[in-house]
Amino acid sequence: MVIEGGQRKSIWYDAEADEVCVIDQTRLPHEFAIHRLRTLEDACEAITSMRVRGAPLIGITAVFGVYLALRENPASLDAALRRLRATRPTAVNLRWALDRVAQELSEQTRADIVGGALDFALVLAEEDAVCCEAIGEHGGKVLRRLWRERCGQDRPLRVLTHCNAGALATVEWGTALAAIYKAAAAGVPLHVWVDETRPRNQGGALTCWELRRAGVDHSLIVDGAAGHVMVSGLVDVCVTGSDRVSASGDVCNKIGTYQVALAARDNNLPFYAALPVSTIDFDWPSADEAIPIEERAAEEISMATGIEVGGRETKVHQYPRETAVRNFAFDITPARLVTGIITEHGVFEANRASLVALANKTLAAAASTER
């Protein structure tokens, strides 16, 4: 998928400038801007400010951040890892990626560690692109099957999604939207209902931006309308991404996902989560055990940013300024509401036995690659 002007990736390395480039997602949808990362702090700021967001992309950005830190000081690995781990607490891909780069560099000499960090970041970025395309292939098959079963040739398959799980959330392709792109490419007519996804509006700002460029028919709705379009018979399937999945199949994702899954169950609609295996946290047994749920700044809810008719960006207060605000960024959908988990290795049930089988399949695939 081409994101803009021939650019296919959300993050890339500019070898001539020795800088890391990302799409500044805080500027979308009104401006397509490239943001350059030159230091560790640049990478940390990009993650915390959500210039980059989406669990897979956060992890890749963090590994490039390790390279930028080591380029300045080859002895700073431990400090860089600590700093990056603290940027966002919920998305498990951040920890996974930093653990992998730490292991990769553990036996590197001081002379080799900088180049080793860059090489590993580039390899991991390419792995993510390949992984997400595979997720799209498996998810696309699910959507093609549902279209044949539910729609035949008479009408489009109607998919509801929440937040942004597209190319902007990964290096390339995306997760939930990758399934949509692959299904569309295979000739499945689609209509996508896009939840606005308050308070940062990633659905409206990012998913609609992506779908328009991909030529996929879609409509934007407020978060509270998701249940209404389902009970009105206007949805065939719900597909979202995820920031962390428990070993039992519970899905932690953008706030509001739980309500989508509840409405889907009440209307006998399938609810799928699409994600790389790296998003599954086998150290998190189930939703019965708490994980860190990020709380972000109150002003993300109490204030709104937009473009005036004349083109000037404006930030305005929406509510009484003394109003107390709690801005929870994620919620957890219990496994019982999840029809299936779409990964690069196929579609698996949301339960411990199925995910253990997935883990074994992943290990076998890795061993085969090493041989």
Residues tagged active-site: 243
- What residues contact 364, with CB distance under 8 A and at least 6 apart? none
Phi, psi of 175 (to 5 degrees): -120, -80
Q: And the tokens for 155?
A: 């009408």
Torsion of CA 239, 245, 249, 254, to 10 degrees: -40
Question: DSSP letter string over 53-121?
Answer: -SHHHHHHHHHHHHHHHHHH-TT-HHHHHHHHHTS-SS-HHHHHHHHHHHHHHTT--TTTHHHHHHHHH
Q: And the tokens for 245?
A: 């999945």
How far is C-alpha 239 from the chain's CA centre? 12
Q: Residues 296, 319: contact at Cβ < 8 Å?
A: no
- Tokens 């995820």 correspond to 242
Residue 123 identity (one-letter amino acid): V
Q: Measuring CA to CA, how many Å separate 100 from each of 66, 117, 185, 325, 334?
A: 12, 11, 34, 37, 28
The DSSP call for residue 170 is S
Q: Residues 121, 102: contact at Cβ < 8 Å?
A: no
Question: DSSP letter string over 200-249?
Answer: TTHIIIIIHHHHHHHT--EEEE-GGGHHHHHHTT--SEEEE--SEEETT-
Mapped onto helix, strand or coil, the DSSP state of residue 336 is helix
Residue 68 identity (one-letter amino acid): L
